[in-house]
Each structure stands twice: as structure tokens, then as C-alpha cells.
Structure 1
Amino acid sequence: MSPGYPALRQVDVHTHALPQPLWRWLVDQGLADTDVPREAYDVPARLAYMDEAGIEVHAVSVSPHLRTPEDADTGFVRELTRRSNETLAEFVAQAPDRLVALAAVPVGLVDAAEEVRHCLDDLGMAGVVLATRGMGRDLTDPVHTPLWELLAQRGTFALVHPVAAPGRDGALAAALDVATGVSAMLHAGILETYDVPLCLAYGGGALPSVRGLLQRGWERLGERPALHHSPLDQLRRLYYDTAAFDSLQLRQLVEFAGPAQVLMGSDYPAPMGDTDPIGVVEACQFGPVQEMITGVTATSLLRLT
């Protein structure tokens, strides 16, 4: 351990769960497969994996892919969100020193902030997972103003996660979804107005690759008056997980944003997920700053004790 760092906890900020009561309900609704990785619903199995991988803490969320971004049934969205959060709270309570919950947010609904307040205050969750869209609305829609105000007031950690894009390649859609969603927030002034610790899933998707285009547009296409800080400055203040699945891209991400802005994230136990996220970081040979990526910063953002 490097001098000056606190006792290190290896923290994975991007993992998912499908608690059994929620899984059974979804199967009954015809909305889930009967074949799910055991670690998604069985806490002892997950802890055994974590021990083997050397990970002390998982920040766990129910995948936003359970709903489509164009769902218009408000009753269903509210029920799915509440069931997701209540069962997730029970799931992490089985190992409170190893698992912390990120609340599902009913993006697109006017009462999204109230659900988040319930999760933070009543269920003791450590943060939220924000789908890029919901109910046909993205995160720049004015309906989300109370949500942004609450997250900023609390300094709540938020993992920005893509949602399904039917009819398109899933991996490419995820990369583009993160990029377009965050670009929209940048240009709408959301990132400047609300000081929220946002972590972008999948290493920011395609966003780091187009940062030069965003900067040039701000400089030359009349976008400057709308923003007080340049796109590059704003992007450097965001957090990014390590689930880029490419060592060169991950090293470039750390070089761009700095090691304090990159957090270990695996997407475990999803099919695309990293099963050895610590090894992924170690392979990049970051040296002493690796500890910031694998646990130091996340421990602070999630307020782990």
C-alpha cells in the first residue's frame, strides 16, 4: 500500500443483482428468463466469488434493462421500481459489510425524487443508478429537476447506465447511449448546474472518443455562450468505471480524467462483465495510483465506513 492512503477496500461500483422475489415476479409477468447466473440472486454465491476475486465491496443495482426507455405505463414503472428497490434492500441486508445498494430510479416520472428519497432515507441505500432515458424522456427533461436538486443536495453517488435499444447491436447501442445521454446533459447545463458525483458506465461508452468533437463544437459552432465551462473541463469532472474492456482505452481514460476520476466497475455478473476487475486494472500498470481506482475514491463517494 502506498504511503498516505487510507486502509484500502477493493470496491466494484458497477455490479447487478436480480433478487429472487423480483425474479419470480418478472418470470410470472413474462419479463425475465428462468436462466439467471446464481450470483445474481444468491448472496453466499456472490460472496464466494468476491472472496476469490479479492473484492471487498460490491455496489449493487438492479439492471435498468428491465424496462425499455419508451415504457409509457406509469403504473407498471412505479411497481417495477418499488419492487426492485425493496427486494434489493433485502438482498444487500444479508451482507451489509460487503454489499451496498444503488437505487433504481423511475426516470421520466415526476415523482422520481420521492422514490430516491425513500431509498436513501428509509432503505439506507448508498446511491442510485440512473438510466439515460425513461418514459420517452431523457435526463435533461424538466420533469427531472426535483431529482437533480435532491441528488445535488445530498451529494449522492449516481451510476449513469445505458438502457436497451431494440433492433440495434446491444454493445454498440450501450456505448452510443451513454455518449448521447451525457452529451445532452452537458449541453443542457445539467452538469454545470448540479454538483452530483456521476460515474459513467462502460468507461463512458463512446463519449471519451468524441470529446475532441464536443470541444471543437463549443469553440467554433456558437455553443460557447450556453456553457460556462468547456466540454473538456466538464468531462474531466465526471467519474468513469473501468468496464471499457480494453487496456489501451482504460489507460487513455486515466490519462485524460486522472486516476481519481476512474472507479473499478465490472458489470458483474452480466454476460459482458469482467470477472477479474482488479486484474484488469493491474494489467495497465498504473503503479501506486491503482489504489485510487480500485477502492480509495469509491470508498469516499459511497461513504463506506
Structure 2
Amino acid sequence: MIVDAHAHLLPKDYPQDAPECFPRMESIQDSTDRHLVFGQMKFRAKDVFFEAERRVEAMDASGVDAEVVSPMPPLLRYDLPAADGLSLARHVNEFAAKLCSHDPERLIGLGMVPMQDPDTATAELAAIMDAGLAGVEIASNVLDSSIGDEKFLPFFAEAERLGAAILVHAMPAPTHRLPGSGMGTYVVGIEGMLAAASLILGGTAAACPNLRISFSHAAGGLAMILPRANYFWGGAWNEEPRDLERAVMPDDGPSPLEYARRFYYDSMVFDRRTIRYLIDLLGADRLLVGSDFPAMPREEPAAKTLRSMGLPRDEWENIGWRNAFRWLGREPQG
């Protein structure tokens, strides 16, 4: 069984009376695709983004048993006025619930909230869960504020209370230190790392020990920096017993690695050697299948690299689908 825990949707249309700041979906002559127009962005969206029947057909063709579908990340426009952000989120969430109602066992939806207004985002979580969605997708930063900032702690505490799954999707952030061509690769990797690290260092991971949260693309460079963080916390290499005489930042709480092992990470990292490192460092019980479909093409068949690694059966089943059920708060079947 395979659950693709990182796939995306787009609404087919937007209300005629929507604010001018809303996206538009424009028809394309002689095609079932549509153009998403959102500010300066124009993106050709295949019909599999918004047609449930086509979605299921594509899953069958790739050998995917279920998908966790979340809003296409450009919809996470935290620069909108809070009222408009809430209106957009509600429209996207309504569409997500409708799309997933086509086959609720195979299509599992995540909504979105206006994180630019933490109080409004927190209050909206209950409605999202009541609509049958499994949780929400958020971006890796909110108007250049770390998601580990204390102002977002009530949001994460409410998500924990409601049992909402959270997907943190790395988003490009402006920087003058890299050319624009690096935004979708290097900066996304940096953003994923910063988002996860901020939850550890800012106290959210300690305050919300039962929060079920996943990071796109394995939280970028996080796994490479964690051993260094662990050394400064404990003064020892290789997770050996702590040497407090060497520790630079000792504390009595869990280590950075222990906190990181509470999170989930999709394994869309493009190389089996990286997956092997993630398994060794974080554990096979922390990784998920992810594809970014249909924004990016899936491997054919889905999870081809994972399938090729000769993983022990229990590791493969954990990564292939059991961990996704655990992240979603659903009881694994079988």
C-alpha cells in the first residue's frame, strides 16, 4: 500500500463576486486545463488538480492507494488582508472537502488558514475539522516571521487539542544572497530547515508534545545540521552519553534529535542515499511518501526509489503508508 502524503489541489473556479485580490481560473481553448492567475503568476493547471475522477485515475495509473491533498502553495498568500485571507481559505477548504467527498478513503484533504492573523487562524481550525478535513497546510514562514514565534503557539496548541495534522510546506523567501534561480531549490531547502528548527528552539515542540506535524521535502537541510545541534546540546559525538563539560548550550530537556524525531518528513529528496541517511538518523517511523503531484510528475511507479532500496518489510510499510496514517491520526489498517 502507498499513501502519497504530499500532493496538491486547486479549486476549479472562484466566486464571481470575489475580491479583486483573489486568484482566477481562466479557461484554455480546446483543453480541460485552466490557467491559475494570481497576481503576477500564471500557471497552467492540469484538470487533475480539480477533477476528482481524473485524480483517482492518475492514482490508479501510478499505483497510489490514497493521497493527502493540500492547497497548491501559492494560495498561501499571507500578504492579503486578514478578512480576504479568511474568505479565500474558506473557499479553498470548501472545495477541498467537496473534492475528497468523491472517495473519502482515497482522498484525504488538508485545508488552509490565514496565518497572517494567528487568532483568526486558530479559531478556524474547528470548522476545518468539522468539514471532514484532516488538518491544514501552512507555509514555512509567515510574512518573514518564524512559525516558531510565540505568537503562533496558541494555533499549534489548538491543532494539538483538535488532533489536526499539519503540513509545513517550504516556500521561497526573498534573499539577496542567492540569485533568483535558487529560490525554488536552495532557498526552499533553507526555509524547511529554519521552520523545523524554529519549532524546536522556540519552544513549540516542548509545549505541544503530541502535535502531529510533517515537513515537505524532509525539512530541507535540517537533518544535516541536527548532529551539530546535538553536539552543542550534549557535548558528545554520535549521540553518545552527554559530556556537560563540553556542552555549549546544555539544558535538561530532550535533545534536538529527540525533538526532531517527533516530527514527520516526506521523503521526496530525489536520492536514495539521502533517504538512507534520513532513515538512519531520524528513523523509518518518521518518513512519508511524497510527490508534489501534480505540480511535479511522480516517479513511475510511485515511490520507485523507495521500492528499489530493498528496505526490510516493516520499514517499507512504515514509510509507504503506516506513518501517514499515524500523522493523520488514523488507525493503520492491516
Q: Same fold (TM over 0.5)?
A: yes
Aligned-partner SS, 2:137: strand
Partner of 2:67: 58
Please name the residue that 1:17 is paired with.
9
- Partner of 1:214, secondary structure, is helix
Shift of 1:15: 0.5
Cross-structure match for 1:296: 322
Q: CA deviation at 1:136?
A: 4.0
AA at the equivalent of 2:101: A
**Counterpart residue number, 2:220:** 205
Cα drift, residue 63 of structure 1: 2.2
Q: Percent identity?
A: 25
Rounded Cα–Cα distance in structure 1 between residues aligned with 2:298 and 2:220: 14
Higher helix share: 1
Of structures 1 and 2, the larger Rg is shown by 2
* Range with greater deviation from structure 2 (238-247 or 163-172): 163-172
- What CA RMSD, in Å, does the superposition of the two structures yield over aligned residues? 2.4
The CA deviation string for residues 19-68 of structure 1, in whole angstroms up to 9 with x for no partner, is 20249961269405362122111212111110111111111000232245
Closer/same/farther in 2, CA of residues 221 and 21 from structure 1, 3 Å limit:
farther
Q: Deviation digits for residues 218-268 of structure 1, max 9, x if unmatched?
A: 34674333x611111111222111111111101111111111111111111
Match of residue 149 from structure 1: 157
**Greater relative contact order (Cα 8 A, min sep 6): structure 1 or 2?**
1
Verify: 1:158 aligned to 2:166, yes or no.
Answer: yes
Structure 1: stretches of 5+ with no match in the other structure: 1-8
**1:293 CA displacement:** 0.7
- Going from structure 1 to structure 2, the CA distance change for 1:275 and 1:190 (only over 3 Å counts) comes to farther
TM-score by length of 1: 0.88
Q: Structure 2 unaligned runs (5+)?
A: 17-21, 26-35, 175-179, 235-245
Does structure 1 conserve the Cα–Cα contact (< 8 Å) formed by 2:149 and 2:202? no
Aligned to 1:106, the other structure's residue is in SS state coil
Specify the code of the residue in structure 2 equivalent to 1:208: A
**Residue aligned with 2:116, SS:** coil
Residue of structure 1 aligned with 2:229, choices 191, 202, 214? 214
Change (3 A) 1:235 1:272: farther
Deviation at 1:138, TM superposition (A): 2.4
**What letter matches 2:13 in structure 1?**
P
For the Cα contact (< 8 Å) 1:179–1:205, is it kept in 2?
yes
Q: Which moved more, 1:146-155 or 1:215-224?
A: 215-224
TM-score norm. by structure 2 comes to 0.80
